[in-house]
Amino acid sequence: MFSRLIQDWLPLPEVPFAVLLVTVLATHLWLRDFEPPSHSSAPFIALILIPAITAYTLFDHAASLSTAISRAYLSFYTGLAFTTVAYRLSPWHPLARYPGPMIARISKLWTVWKAIDGKLPQYYQQLHAQYGSIVRIGPNELSITDKDLLPDILGTHGMPKGPVWDGRRMTPRDHKQEYNLILTRSTTRHAQLRKAWNKAFAADPLLDYKEILLEKILVLQSRLEDMCRENPEGKANVNMTKWIEYFSFDLMSDLAFGAGSDMLRDGDKNGFLEKLGKGIVLPSFTGYVPWFTQIALRLFPTVSASTLAIGAFAVERSKIRSSQAVTKKDLFYHIADHTYKDENTSPFPLIVSNAVLAILAGSDTTSSVLCNVVYYLLANPEYLKILQQELNQAFPSLQDGTMPLEHEVLTELPWLNAIINETMRLQPILPTGLQRAPEKGSGGKMVGSHFIKEGTAIQVPIYVLHRDPRYFSPNPEKFWPERWIQYRENPEIVLNLGVFIPFSMGPANCVGRPLAMMELRYVIAMLIGCFEMRFKEGWDERSWEKELKDRFMLTKGELMVEIKMRKK
């Protein structure tokens, strides 16, 4: 059939056609199960050189060299496209039995297209509603929302990270020694690196971070109070997104690099936060087609400029941090202390490998949760009042502007923690960011009763999981903190804690969770305890959720809030 189609469409002499058929089928068999690696140019060079064989055999039958070349290359790419599409739609494909859109089975470029508007989590939610718990979302990728399969995917005996992470690198690759915790796909190397990170987030280091955290919270409180005092009525209209991002970036700079940012004081003079927001857009697309990463950086210089700027900033801060004497026991002080046996070893490779991780995970993630907490509380003022009452009871002097907060007390406040959990349930930090794949060289892995062949990726869409009525009901789409308080006593409330994974799960879960939760509790307690807040008059609150976009992490629009101090 294939032979007749090609012969009818692009009639070729017998010998060149035989050569074409052999080269097309051989190339197809070579590439059919595995996407080309993002850091290798060999497949692309091969795709340019292989058709030249057919062109050579066709030269004697063509009117000119240019005709031979054009016919050979057109025939080769047509044949390769045909065999690829036919195989991916055929019943012989390893994922043929799993349902999903036909176009998604053909190419991951469909995922890129659906991700452009930033609403890919909602699209995956529609697919799972239509097709069930296991959906084929790519030629070699499944999306799974079956809770019973999560341990085999994400758990202790689960799988390493998938190819999506190959398309999200923003700093140079260190081929001699890989120190990047989040991008490392080897389970062995990840386990080695994770030991130092675990120790860096143990109890004693957290005390060092807590001191830095409280210092920055007081600066944020002071800046908001200053804006209120500038108005005769004692109130101010602020874009809370901007100020929370300033705070988070300053905190990250102190925690990761010892210093380097004073946005709460000076604002974003260099426009870095804007670059950060634009810079994560390209990696959010190339993650789905990692083989296209280096091509995209060259094809779209305007788009990639912000991405490269993030990498350049990370390298610059890493050089400064590794060359200066340590004045604060920051994150990389503790990680390096537990990584290197020789204290004279330069920490630069370690720092530069993880600098982007520190920037994104240390600033963008917590700022998204904080902004969403403020939004949901102002959109549901009954919970705002409940939380204020709870904080007033626990810390009576808080509304006088002082900060006698104790984290041990904050961890026990039911409504504070319920509101944080409910926010992360509805708007998880990584809406579609969890992807795993069988270990290279393993051949594949059993996931429940399903054999997942090597070269197949598994996506676990947290956004879809957290809104699944099988695991969270009633009102899975509604902000309803009561579920976290009443579920033990009320059998009608379904709340499956095993599926609540805003920080992922298993050995690759978020190592910074203790610090993140500490930051969330402290900042929310300060904002709600020290200020009265409501949406700015005339601001359309419906715009907030419309502007939330999945760019690997969440990007946000304006959150316009009227604030005034609660001081007596």
Token pair listed for 534: 């409501």
Distance separating alpha carbons of residues 205 and 209, to the nearest angstrom: 6
User: Sheet of 134-138: strands edge to edge?
Assistant: 134-138, 141-144, 457-460, 434-436
Distance separating alpha carbons of residues 471 and 473, to the nearest angstrom: 7
Q: Torsions phi, psi of 415, nearest 5?
A: -75, -40
Task: Assess contact for 431 and 462: CB atoms under 8 A.
Answer: yes
Beta bridge partners of 161: 436
The reply to whether omega before 474 is within 30° of 0 (cis) is yes
Q: Torsions phi, psi of 411, nearest 5?
A: -65, -20
Distance separating alpha carbons of residues 44 and 534, to the nearest angstrom: 55
Asked if residue 510 belongs to a known ligand binding site, the reply is yes
Q: Which residue, chain included where needed, has tokens 């009561």?
A: 482
Q: Torsions phi, psi of 497, nearest 5?
A: -65, -25
What's at 337, amino acid-wise?
D
What's at 496, amino acid-wise?
N
Distance separating alpha carbons of residues 327 and 171, to the nearest angstrom: 26
Distance separating alpha carbons of residues 537 and 541, to the nearest angstrom: 10
Three-class secondary structure of residue 340 per DSSP: coil
Token pair listed for 72: 């050979």
Token pair listed for 445: 């892995």
First to last CA, the chain: 84
Annotated binding residues, written as ranges, equal: 510
Q: Which residues are documented as binding site for heme? A: 510
